[in-house]
Chain A
Amino acid sequence: MPNSTPAGENNGGELKLDDGSRVAVIGGAPAGSFFSYFLLQTAQRIGLDLQVDIYEPRDFSLAAPQGCNMCGGIVSESLVQSLMVEGIEMPPNVVQRGIDSYVLHMAEGSVRIDTPLHEKRIAAVHRGNGPRGAKEHEWRSFDGYLLELAAGKGARVARERVDGVAWRDGKPQIKTRGGLSQPYDLLAVGTGVNSGALKIFEELGLGYQAPQTAKTYIRELYLGREMIEKHLGSSMHVFLLNMPRLEFAALIPKGDYVTLVLLGEIDAALVETFLAAPAVSRCLPADWRAVKEFCHCSPKINIQSAVQPFADRIVFIGDSGATRLYKDGIGAAYRTSKAAALTAVFDGVSSEAFRRRYWPVCRNISTDNALGKLIFLVTRHIQRWPHDRRAVLRMVSKEQQGNGQRRMSMVLWDIFTGSAPYKDILLRTLRPAFLARVMWFVATDFWIKMNGGSHGNGRVGQDIP
């Protein structure tokens, strides 16, 4: 019965994976590669022989958009640590820069927040093989590296775009330019939110609805290694500036390039206003000028998880399913993909198995995002109010200079790095001791201003860099 409905009554026999079962993975970026890697690793541990085909049209050895899944390229502290425990190395030719601190910039000044032990705990990578016209051939693509790890476990990589999905006797088949594949026992969809692919699945009648998204902006700035070392160092630079339509901005130093990431309603004029702001130009060499031809893009970011990211024999992983709000998307791809892979091996590939074992991980992420929205509302408020901004700067600056509790520093660290769940961060900010300290610093700021005092040169925080 070719082209029967997905799932339905005829679900193609038992909904579990056996020796010789065939699995198709659409998308060979973090979600697809992690899924394939952990599926094969777990299957091998229990002596189950699976065939895994990854469909990925991108060639990650190419520079510029053809080889790049547009992103800031920060591999979070928590993901770096998990990968180490998994035995997945982060080689120095994939990591372009180890990050050991964040510098928070506001109009009033800047503060640096260091990692405990001054350790490089965060990795800055390029997802593809660098920006258009890249001169940095000593580094490799992060996505390419993960795909190789999956291939090393035995996955077959097909450089093909998937144009459709058909069902035969309750089993999915993949449509590519080359034709229709043999039926698969499981289909994992890791296409992210930046191709039209998810439409195919919304139309299948599975109940799946693609995630809601917002547009962002990324631009690569060429500075050269020495200038990056001198001006940005091994810190990620985060900007909370009171500019209309700008929600968040960051400069992420890599090898020879710095990646600029902007969230908000971004247009060309706003990008130029941002780059000309004193807080930003202080981070760049005085003679730095934008070149005419630069690599930039406006990718979508997932802001609301998908509805029903699974059905019989199909599961949506990474951005196509659920991801963390604004932070640690690659870390979320690792979490959801591994959960889906373990479910498929140990519990089966039925909708019910995914609902029981996989859905709780997606739901945790989505619930936590709701609290994340609240936290970002507060950061936006701080962004708008000078008293709050100065209070935060002074509080962090004091904490970084002393040996006492680093409450505000750790809250900001976790917000910007995405290292802790939003719930954890929110609970910490609601502690009376924390609230009392914030109020004290805000009140002091009012008092200084009311008495006509100033903060020295009008700037607070530390002199950075």
Chain B
Amino acid sequence: METGGLGKIYRDGEVIVRQGEAGDCMFVIQAGEVEVFREDGKQREVRLAVLREKDFFGEMALFDREVRSATVRALAEARVLTVDRKSFLRRVHEDPSLAFRVVEQMSHRIRELDAELTRLKTGN
């Protein structure tokens, strides 16, 4: 019996955040995997990414007050911990360098998006 796992356990297919809902926290995966997807207007799902241990998601909610841009659900069992906007911003106020890794991950995603966009535009 493991007693030391932090966060909350989500079962296979359980939704962690839903596209269009308001959010005030981000999530860090402690164990397992989650899939990120967007629903288009016709109820079709487009998978954007599969994320693993130590990855973040929902980080945009820390910086803007827009609704969630995608839905995230557990693939098999996943353990996920939340990081609250308020406590994150309070710490960043004292120590701006705390945002470094979030910015690093966001810049990594922008690179991926650039590559994807190029692929789409050039048809390769």
Contacts and interface: CB of A to CB of B under 8 A. Distances in A.
A121 B81 contact: yes
Q: For this complex, into which size category does the number of interface residues on chain A fall?
A: 35 or more
Contact of A85 (B8, B83, B90): B83
A80 B6 contact: yes
A8 interface: no
Nearest to B104: A87
A38 to B, nearest CB: 8
Interface of B: 1-8, 28, 54, 81-84, 87-88, 90-91, 94-95, 97-98, 101-102
Contacts of A80: 6, 81
Contacts of A3: none
A121 B84 CA distance: 11
A77 B84 CA distance: 10
A225 B4 CA distance: 12
A98 B6 contact: yes
B8 A118 contact: yes
Given A81-B88, A85-B28, A89-B54, A342 B6 contact: no
Given A98-B3, A121-B81, A338 B95 contact: yes
A81 B27 CA distance: 10
Contacts of A338: 95, 97
A91 B81 CA distance: 13
B5 A87 contact: no
Most chain B CB atoms below 10 A, which of A89, A98, A419: A98
Contact of A119 (B3, B81, B91, B95): B81
Nearest to A38: B97
A81 B90 CA distance: 12
Nearest to B95: A338
Contact of A42 (B82, B94, B97): B97
B94 A82 contact: no
B6 A121 contact: yes
Contacts of A81: 81-84, 87-88
Interface in A92-107: 92-98
A118 B3 CA distance: 15
A300 interface: no
A429 interface: no
A117 B84 CA distance: 12
Q: Which of A94, A121, A338 has the most CB of B within 10 A?
A: A121
A86 to B, nearest CB: 7
28 contacts: A42-B97, A80-B6, A81-B83, A81-B87, A81-B88, A82-B91, A82-B98, A84-B28, A85-B88, A85-B98, A89-B54, A98-B6, A119-B8, A119-B81, A119-B82, A120-B5, A121-B7, A123-B4, A225-B3, A229-B1, A234-B3, A255-B3, A255-B4, A338-B95, A338-B97, A339-B94, A342-B95, A421-B90
B26 to A, nearest CB: 8
A335 B95 contact: yes
Nearest to A118: B8
A78 interface: yes
A87 B95 CA distance: 15
A89 B90 CA distance: 21
A90 interface: yes
B68 to A, nearest CB: 16
Contact of A97 (B3, B28, B94, B101): B3
Specify which of A85, A87, A420 lies most central, judged by the most chain B CB atoms within 10 Å of its CB: A85
A87 B101 contact: yes
Nearest to B97: A342
B94 A92 contact: no
Contacts of B7: 98, 119-121
A367 interface: no
Contacts of B98: 82, 85-86
A234 B8 CA distance: 13
B118 to A, nearest CB: 29
Contact of B3 (A86, A96, A364, A420): A96
B5 A92 contact: yes
A355 B90 CA distance: 22
Given A229-B3, A421-B90, 4 more contacts: A81-B82, A90-B6, A91-B4, A339-B95
